[in-house]
Amino acid sequence: MSILIENISKKFGHFQALSPLSLDISEGEMIGLLGPSGSGKTTLLRIIAGLEGADSGRIQFGDRDVTNLHVRDRRVGFVFQNYALFRHMTVADNVAFGLEVLPRKERPSRAEIQKRVQHLLEMVQLEHLANRFPSQLSGGQKQRIALARALATQPEVLLLDEPFGALDAKVRKELRRWLRGLHDELGFTSVFVTHDQEEALELSDRVVVMSNGNIEQIDQPGTLYASPNSRFVFDFLGNANVFEGKTDAGVWRNGQASIALPNGAQQEDGQLYIRSHEFFVSTEATAQADLPLRVIAINPIGAEVRLELAPIGWQSNDVWEVDLPHKAFDKNGFEKGQTVFVTPKAGYFFAHDAKQPVEIHWSITK
């Protein structure tokens, strides 16, 4: 079922949790609401569910206007951050709950309910735990039961609040893949909230990036990564190093450091955002960039080695992070305390007052 959100806003006291915002979700889509805490993503999710009333605006499921519909009549599946399993009920009773509270006319027979519960437990691969209590389950198991419970009434919309937040890394990966598979198989429309960019990019058809009650950008993960449209999105999607530069005779300069303007770039002051893997690292400055840095830490992370670098003779608010493939790292054999020079391959330039960045590439001259 498609979801239409129009001009929804919400205030808590004096706090503007959501500025009027609109969002159009098509049937069968999986949408990730991504943002830092306090960005309004959970509030938006709760408004879609009907757990929270909006101050203005309209929500439509398919052709049905549900703005004033009580949560119990919206028929959405909702998975809570801490699962909110009923502590005094067994796993099977938890899953059966949604069916047992149906009005008598719509309620399946006892045997039918039992069969459906059995089927749902098989689907989440936990049929052997039917008679356990929630306190006896692991986090990942609770998560799956919460999902089974939400899906028992066959909702066409599934909403998930930080579904994997409380799980350890390995279980999280596994459940993510499993949820995506389930979504594709059953064809419901899903909206989930997360503060983990990797999770949002991996799982969603489209990602909605939020901050301070506003939507910053809505795009497919690939597009979002390739062309973030604001400083916020850039910062939030992470691992970008910022070079604050003033133009001076064809270069951006900051203290002793400088980066050559690529061909055709405008002569403007501004900030250059460069992702951590878009660098060469060498022991000498190149024609294109003179960025001296001291190696303060070397951390192997999976397939790459991350260098943490402190500027020498120029200013940056943060430590720079540069990722190198092991091969490149081994060839050079950098050491802690050593001075290195980095050369950007590609980056995004925000002119002084601009909200939107300009993408830049250097034609490499070694």
Partner 1 sequence: MATHLTAANVRPRHKRVLPGLSLSLGTSLLFISLILLLPMTGLVMQTMDMGWERYWQVITDERVVASYKVTLWAAALASIFNGFFGLLLAWVLVRYEFPGRRILDALVDLPFALPTAVAGITLATLYAQNGWYGDVLESLGIKVAYTPWGIVLAMAFTSIPFVVRTVQPVLEELSPEEEEAGMTLGASDWSVFRRVIFPALWPALMTGIALSFTRSLGEFGAVIFIAGNMPYVSEITSLMIFISLQEFDFAAASAIASVVLMASLVLLFAINIWQARYLRRLHGR
Partner 2 sequence: MSATKSAPGQRHTLRVGDNPIVKWLLISVTLFLTVILLVVPLISIFQLAFMEGVAHYFSSLMEADTLHAVGLTLLVAALTVPINLVFGVMLAWAVTRFEFRGRKVLMTLMDIPFAVSPVVAGLLYLLLYGNNGWIGAWLYDHDIQLMFAWPGIVMVTVFVTCPFVARELIPLMQQQGREDEEAAVILGASGWQLFRRVTLPNIKWALIYGVILTNARAVGEFGAVAVVSGNIRGETNTLPLLVQAQYEDYQAAAAFASASLLAMLALVTLLFKAFVEWRQERSLNIESDKERKAVA
* Interaction between residue 166 and partner 2 (CB under 8 A): no
Instruction: Strands of 221-345 (E only): list them.
Output: 240-248, 251-254, 257-260, 270-275, 279-282, 289-290, 292-301, 304-311, 320-325, 339-344
CA dihedral 207, 209, 215, 220 (to 10 degrees): -30
Quote the least distance from Cβ 140 to partner 2, whole Å.
24
For strands 214-219 and 304-311, give the pairing.
Answer: unpaired
* Interaction between residue 90 and partner 1 (CB under 8 A): no
* Interaction between residue 12 and partner 2 (CB under 8 A): yes
Picked from partner 2, partner 1, none, the partner binding residue 274 (CB below 5 to 8 A depending on kind) is none
Q: Answer whether 37's CB lies under 8 Å from 195's CB.
A: yes
Which SS3 state, helix, strand or coil, does residue 159 take?
strand
Strand order in the sheet with 64-65: 15-25, 3-12, 56-61, 64-65
* Interaction between residue 52 and partner 2 (CB under 8 A): yes
Q: Which long-range contacts (CB under 8 A, 24 or more apart) does 116-119 make?
A: 116/152, 117/92, 117/152
* The only residue of 24, 26, 65, 102 in contact with partner 1, by rule CB under 8 A: 102
Picked from partner 1, partner 2, none, the partner binding residue 76 (CB below 5 to 8 A depending on kind) is partner 1
Measured CA to CA, the distance from residue 294 to residue 339 in angstroms comes to: 4
* The only residue of 23, 152, 201, 309 in contact with partner 1, by rule CB under 8 A: 152
Q: Is 30 exposed, middle or buried (0-12, 13-18, 19+ CB in 10 A)?
A: buried
Nearer to partner 2, 52 or 244 (CB): 52
Q: Tokens 């943002």 identify what position?
A: 35
Phi, psi (rounded to 5 degrees) for 252: -90, 130
Choices 120-128, 149-157, 228-236, 353-361 (CB under 8 A): range interacting with partner 1: 149-157
* The only residue of 4, 6, 58, 71 in contact with partner 2, by rule CB under 8 A: 71
Of 343, 316, 313, whose CA–CA distance to 328 is shortest?
343
Nearer to partner 2, 53 or 300 (CB): 53
Choices 28-36, 131-139, 205-213, 219-227 (CB under 8 A): range interacting with partner 1: 131-139
Choices 21-29, 47-55, 162-170, 347-355 (CB under 8 A): range interacting with partner 2: 47-55
Quote the least distance from Cβ 52 to partner 2, whole Å.
6
Alpha helices in 24-138 (DSSP H): 41-49, 71-74, 91-100, 110-123
* Interaction between residue 68 and partner 1 (CB under 8 A): no
Strand order in the sheet with 358-361: 289-290, 257-260, 251-254, 240-248, 270-275, 346-351, 358-361
Nearer to partner 2, 71 or 354 (CB): 71
- Any bridge partners for residue 65, and if so which? 60
* Interaction between residue 149 and partner 1 (CB under 8 A): yes
Measured CA to CA, the distance from residue 348 to residue 273 in angstroms comes to: 5
Total number of residues shown for the chain: 366
Nearer to partner 2, 51 or 182 (CB): 51
* Interaction between residue 346 and partner 2 (CB under 8 A): no
Nearer to partner 2, 98 or 292 (CB): 98
Q: Tell me how many residues contact partner 1 (CB under 8 A).
A: 33
Quote the least distance from Cβ 51 to partner 1, whole Å.
5
* Interaction between residue 51 and partner 2 (CB under 8 A): yes
Binding to partner 1, residues 28-57 (CB under 8 A): 49-51
Picked from partner 1, partner 2, none, the partner binding residue 12 (CB below 5 to 8 A depending on kind) is partner 2
Picked from partner 1, partner 2, none, the partner binding residue 41 (CB below 5 to 8 A depending on kind) is none
Measured CA to CA, the distance from residue 257 to residue 283 in angstroms comes to: 15
Give the binding site for partner 2 (CB under 8 A).
12, 51-53, 71
Give the binding site for partner 1 (CB under 8 A).
49-51, 70-78, 80-82, 84-89, 97-98, 100-102, 133, 135-136, 149-150, 152-153
